Amino acid sequence: MLVASDLDRTLIYSAAALGLTMPDAEAPRLLCVEVYDSKPLSYVTETAAGLLDELGRTAVFVPTTTRTREQYGRIHLPGPAPEFAICANGGHLLVDGVSDPDWTARVARRLADECASLAEVRAHLVRTADPAWLLKERVAEDLFAYLVVERSRLPEGWVKELAAWAEGRGWTVSLQGRKIYAVPKPLTKSAAVREVARRVGAEEILAAGDSLLDADLLLAADRSWRPGHGELAETGFVAPGLTVLPHRGVAAGEEILRAFLAAGER
């Protein structure tokens, strides 16, 4: 059994995303799993930490994230170090922490053959974005681009217009929180997960995620789960084999892990 899961707001949570609604005295104990600039950044509950450890010992657990390799390297999940991890939305397949050169080359060929260049898309983003609401512009791993915006000032219809422009060039556009992602269509988490499944001979793929960039992963899995928060919840996303959890925030991370482990016991 292969378990591929998104990380941010699926298994790990920033302080702002914890979603704790109970009295302080009843709040779960938290374990920090990421430090950035000498400050704690991401957490799991202590219960989730134990579940992660068990999952890592009983299944092929593959962290599957849009984070860059550097950003992923800051995370220290409980349990055995995963043999495989997927970064940059499928652009990098890590094997024992090292990017697999054959996979990287395959991705590069597909991007060159099937969609417009990153340079063209980035230039359009920078040219059309308004400094009145643009906070940052970034490129991730020389594979895709994103903008950090002041969402309250973002003009209505701007993202839709950008998506229409990108569609004809083989790119997708999604608004997630304060970030607008422009990602090549061939750059998907599901493609990288299928490659890992082929290598390990997995008979079943389980998956979880909360964002629009996780949709292809959930569609490709035999069984999948999404929490009650995130862009997929906001859009009412459904798929064959998908279980929609009512839980929100860090509690959803625990329930997803319980679901993975229960599936492995059947």
pLDDT in tens, 27-37: 999 999 999 99
Whether the pLDDT of residue 69 is over 90: the answer is: yes
Q: Which two tokens stand for residue 35?
A: 């430090």
Give me the phi and psi of 179, to 5 degrees please: -115, 135
Q: What share of the chain is helix, strand, coil (3-state, %, to 5)?
A: 40, 30, 30
Whether the pLDDT of residue 266 is over 80: the answer is: no
Q: What pLDDT band is residue 13 in, cutting at 50, 70 and 90? A: very high
Whether the pLDDT of residue 131 is over 80: the answer is: yes
pTM, two decimal places: 0.95
Residue boundaries of the structural domains of the chain: 2-108+187-265, 116-184
DSSP state of 152: G
What is the pLDDT, as a whole number, of residue 246? 95
Average pLDDT, stretch 110-116? 97
Which CATH fold topology does 2-108+187-265 show? Rossmann fold (3.40.50)
Query: 11-20, 21-30, 199-208: which has the minimum mean pLDDT?
Result: 21-30
C-alpha separations of 79 from 44, 48, 149 in Å: 13, 11, 36
Q: Could you identify the residue written with the tokens 């230039």? A: 123
Pick the CATH number of 116-184 from 3.40.50, 3.30.379, 3.30.1360, 1.25.40: 3.30.1360
Q: Could you identify the residue written with the tokens 């839709």? A: 160
Choose among 137, 132, 126, 177: nearest CA to 155. Answer: 132
What is the pLDDT, as a whole number, of residue 264? 83
What average pLDDT does the structure give for the chain?
A: 96
Decide: 118 and 139 in contact? Cβ < 8 Å: yes
